[in-house]
Amino acid sequence: MRVDGEVAVPGDKSISHRALILSAVARGPSRVTNILQSADIGSTAGVLRALGVAVPSLSSDMVVRGVGLRGLKSPEAVLDCGNSGTTARLMAGVVAGAGVTARFEGDRSLSSRPMGRVAVPLRKMGAAVLLPPGGGLPMDVVGAPLHQIDYVSEAASAQIKSAVLLAAVMAGISSRVREPAPSRDHTERMLAARGVPVRFHGDGAEVLPVDELAPFDTRVPGDPSSAAFLAALAALADSGTLRLTGVCLNPTRAGFFRLLERMGAKVRIEAAEEGGELVGSIDVAPGTLSGTVVKEEEVPSMIDELPLVACLAARATGVTEIRGAAELRVKESDRIAAVVTNLRRLGVDAEELPDGLRVRGGTSPLVGRISTHGDHRLAMAFGVLGALPGSAVEIDDRDCVAVSYPSFWSDLARVVS
């Protein structure tokens, strides 16, 4: 199998969410180009509309006319977050700091995911956050005058950190978040670009008060998590070189590509700073892949790609072990259990660990039906294995990739020859 060509993957999901949110609460119009036009980003757009912001339909070139930090209004209906945990958790911080009241709801998957992790710091800041006994959705947030906080998070989570920082910016106060390991720092970078005094610390970040956010035009770079799936296919190929262009290469997001090279693939990266982020191209060619150990400190930089790492491990020589990744159990599905179960269905030697998994690579044909549980990352990861010669992998819900990469299946087919 040969994998080659050039692909510009869709806009980054994390940056797309934040570009909409920050444009909505800036004072004046902000232009957003190359935004990810997916279901999750549509959920954030819908929530902002319900809060009184005129957000146009998602398009490759759009203008959001911000209402300012004090311009949001309590919605008349519930805020429907769909399947998007980022929407629910980041917007909880925005609503708390804006002093408005709203109820957040979502689909069955999102309703079962933990919201207490953002409720705790927001309550410490002075907001009222009401959750059902299970700790998921629906979530009621009652905004109030907030006070500053120096919050020590138990988890390295960009969503927790962002909820606190956004609440502080909305309320016009300073606040700091400390983390056990670095998490994605898009929120801090994008706030700084819009005039917020941000202090970057080795263990987190701090924001200082501002009266308003300046409007700012954003070109959303390509999503490294989406690029990872095509890069993995190129690494597993027999020949060819695949180029992925315009990809966000923020160091907190590029862990998968470092791992791919460590496993034996040929990876070359060219990057330059663009709008406060490192953006560039990635060239991937096949190599002989060997098993590896993913350590806890590496997990935050590739958290969304870990199901893909497990699938790569199924075709690598030796054993791959992932540890310190208990966070995977509270994603769109319990990704540890789901990945191991699905690998076993394909005949792969895989073992579930409390905080990760262990996979022994092999060469036997991969044949079986995969249960995605509606999880886009699982569909794409096993889709990569299904594209290999001799595989017969049936995926129960191919359409769930629309959450983050609507054109995934066509791009996958286009690069294979």
What CA–CA distance (Å, rounded) separates 16 from 319? 36
In degrees and rounded to multiples of 5, residue 175 shows phi and psi of -160, 155
The span from the CA of 320 to the CA of 324, in Å, is 14
Going by C-beta distance under 8 Å and a sequence separation of 6 or more, which residues neighbour residue 235? 260, 263, 264, 265, 284, 285, 286, 287, 289, 312
CB 276, CB 187: distance < 8 Å:
no
Q: Is 45:23 a contact under the CB 8 Å cutoff?
A: no
Tokens of 252: 């907190």
Pairing of strands 61-67, 27-33: antiparallel
d(CA 164, CA 191): 13
Helix (H) or strand (E) holding 376: helix 376-386
Nearest in space to 229 (alpha carbons), one of 417, 52, 57, 404:
404
Helix (H) or strand (E) holding 256: helix 255-263
Q: Give the residue carrying structure tokens 């006994």.
A: 133
Q: Which of 203, 167, 220 is nearest to 31 (CA)?
A: 220
Residue 63 near residue 56 (C-beta atoms within 8 A): yes
Return the structure tokens found at 219.
């070109």
Give the DSSP letter of residue 388: S
> Is there a catalytic annotation at residue 304?
yes
Cα dist from 111 to 138, 201, 345, whole Å: 7, 33, 28
Q: What is the DSSP letter of 334?
A: -
Six-digit token string for 326: 């208990």
Q: Which of 12, 40, 223, 304 is catalytic?
A: 304
Q: Are 349 and 318 in contact (CB under 8 A)?
A: no
What gap in Å lies between CA 260 and CA 231, rounded to an integer? Answer: 9
Positions marked catalytic = 304
